[in-house]
Amino acid sequence: MSRRTLVVCGDGASAVLLVCALARQAGQALSVIVIGEKGEPGRGIAYSTANPAHLLNVPAGRMSANINRPDQFVRWLAEHGIVAASWEQSFVSRAHYGAYLSDLLDATLKSNPDLAVRFVRGRIKSLMRKNLGWVVAHDGGTIDADLVVLATGNDRPPPIAPHYPRALASRITDDPWSEPDLAPDCDVLLLGAGLTAIDAAIGLHSRGHAGNIYFLSRHGLLPRSHVEPAAALPLDRPFPASPRGLLRAMRAKLGPSVPAAHWQGFMDAMRPHWPQIWQSFSVAEKKRFLRHAATLWNVHRHRLAPAVGAFLAQGLSRNLHLLKGRLRHLEAGGSGLIATIDHGGRATRLSIGHVINCTGPNANPDRTHDGLIENLVASRLARAGEAGIGLDVDRRNRVLDKSGTAQPSLLAMAALTRGHWWEITAIPEIAQQAQIMSGAIMEYLGILTAAARINRRH
């Protein structure tokens, strides 16, 4: 039997989780080509940091890449002499997680020599249909594929620097992971106050930065810190089918003043149910949720490792500052830049030396700056999810084309499928998705092979 070719677009954690799940099932049926621009499979944005102060925001016990072996990551840590003395310390550094994925990939490929996997370094530019399959164009050539999985992760935030003249633009960093070389006493404005901005502040602090660091947030909120959660039960079924109903039911369940351990335990207990709850909302309710509740959701759901929470609390009494408002514009002046910040109809001016764009990923494929996604949407091979986040996919993660038809040979995973699943951007959910997708991929390849056999007979 000739091998079928699967191309995975993107080489982050999702790609590695999918390859490992496939290795458990695929045998000789498949040749997998993973294309990514980093050339470090598994690391992606989250796990390529070498800074030991960049910690996981999920305890190690829930970070196994293999849903059949929930203690796999904790065992890997123990084998490498990294044993958490307390629950707080189980939020280990993300660099360890990158090394674990790398080891896991090596071990999986060694123990499954039948599965042919090739890693290609390059940036994918477009996909074109070819018969039942695809031609994948990247900056080093083209590859024919029977099946394509899009695993390109989060989109970048919309860039700001191109809107300013060159002299000003040199004081703006649009890639929050690029660690700009700044004078240690320079005052820095971080646009955003989420996990990306806090990562950037940790990066500056680790490099000995002594200048002021301002977080600018529209709502003036910072993510909450994890505390060890108390065991809790989810809401009773049926779950409320509207955001308002849900909020009411959550308040009734938790009571008026809830200790952090209780609401966090409750959030954890609800986590497996969010996809079902999200899917029960109408499109208008999803949009209302995104408009009015997403910020509150984010600060409660995407929590900080306890040590990062402590760093923030200490920093806020020193050189870290939280500002509430929205950046109106930047101009030359003061110690390099003057930022005009709007809040409640009033404008304040802040003198800074540099700006780092930590506004968080763009979720809407219609406004993407990623060439591949832009291309897919422009060529009607994909469309935005109904609430304007992620790509529109069905429950089998098949990408819907512009007319809403599911394409069995084009799948998407992780952040790209957020519009359908909502809770799908972290390892516990991606590992599950990878396992389910590998089954669906093998099923589809079985159908292709059976069809080819019938065609040959006739």
Here the tokens at position 336 are 């390099």
Positions that interact with ligand FAD (CB under 6 A):
9-15, 35-38, 44-46, 56-58, 123-124, 151-154, 195, 199, 370, 372, 414-415, 425-427
Q: How many helices (H) and strands (E) does the chain have?
A: 14, 17
Q: Which is nearer to ligand FAD, 42 or 265 (CB)?
A: 42
Q: How far is the CB of 281 from ligand FAD (least distance, A)?
A: 23
CB of residue 165 vs ligand FAD: minimum separation in angstroms?
A: 29
Between residues 12 and 390, which has the closer beta carbon with respect to ligand FAD?
12
Burial of residue 208 (number of CB atoms within 10 Å: 0-12, 13-18, 19+):
exposed
Q: Are 341 and 328 in contact (CB under 8 A)?
A: yes
Please, which residue, 13 or 384, has the CB nearer to ligand FAD?
Answer: 13
- Bridge partners of residue 348, in order along the sequence: 341
CB 268 within 8 A of CB 300: no
State in angstroms the smallest separation of the CB of 62 from ligand FAD. 8
CA distance 300 to 415: 19
Q: In angstroms, give the least distance from the CB of 308 to ligand FAD.
A: 10
Residues found in the chain: 458
* Closest by CA position to 5, among listed 25, 34, 44: 34
Residue 241 beta carbon to ligand FAD: minimum distance, rounded to whole angstroms: 28
Q: Minimal distance in Å, beta carbon 100 to ligand FAD?
A: 12
Give Cα separations from 313 to 30, 223, 321, 322 (angstroms).
51, 12, 10, 11
Between 36 and 419, whose beta carbon lies closer to ligand FAD?
36
Q: Are 112 and 20 spatial neighbours (Cβ–Cβ below 8 Å)?
A: no
Closer to ligand FAD by CB, 37 or 103: give it.
Answer: 37
Of 180, 198, 182, the C-alpha closest to 314 is 198
The nearer residue to ligand FAD, 341 or 389, going by C-beta atoms, is 389
CB nearer to ligand FAD: pick between 172 and 372? 372
Determine the Cα–Cα distance for residues 154 and 365; give it in Å rounded to an integer.
11
Three-state SS at 90: helix
